[in-house]
Chain A
Amino acid sequence: AQSVTQLGSHVSVSEGALVLLRCNYSSSVPPYLFWYVQYPNQGLQLLLKYTSAATLVKGINGFEAEFKKSETSFHLTKPSAHMRDAAEYFCAVSSNTGFQKLVFGTGTRLLVSP
């Protein structure tokens, strides 16, 4: 069974500062890992995904994440935060061995102050 843990329900940064959102996974098989973003009153949008190719994954809106097997982590980063990055971010995991449920973390709300 797969699961993800997102450390910190809220993260606050200033505009222009580094964004770091943490995600640790647990999986008995090689995982697929994802970061989704949800803006207020909207659905979820895929930011980036790891599917066992390159360990450093670049996504949309300047975000990237690094898969570290030794640390079972898939943290999301962005060098410089913008006000428009304020949203809820979900880490998610699924198995690469067939029809498996996508398991979401509990989410981290990113707050960006001017």
Chain B
Amino acid sequence: GIQVEQSPPDLILQEGANSTLRCNFSDSVNNLQWFHQNPWGQLINLFYIPSGTKQNGRLSATTVATERYSLLYISSSQTTDSGVYFCAVFKLIFGTGTLLAVQP
């Protein structure tokens, strides 16, 4: 089956810093989503991005389907950005996530 790998596994940032999270997948896909799971466990849709680039406020995402990776950019991070970020492909097969902690 499709393998989904995320990096880094953990990330600690100071408030205001920028970060890039990466998602690699082992086969071609036509569905890719990024989620933020907040400290209360809620899954929040960030982007549905099987290809191309999207932006939403301080967050943006780029998927290069031909090279089998996707990137999530967080700019000017805030403490409310803390939590686990998942990418998921296909139906959905989730990566193991990136745990982000933003310190004030």
A and B, one complex? Answer: no
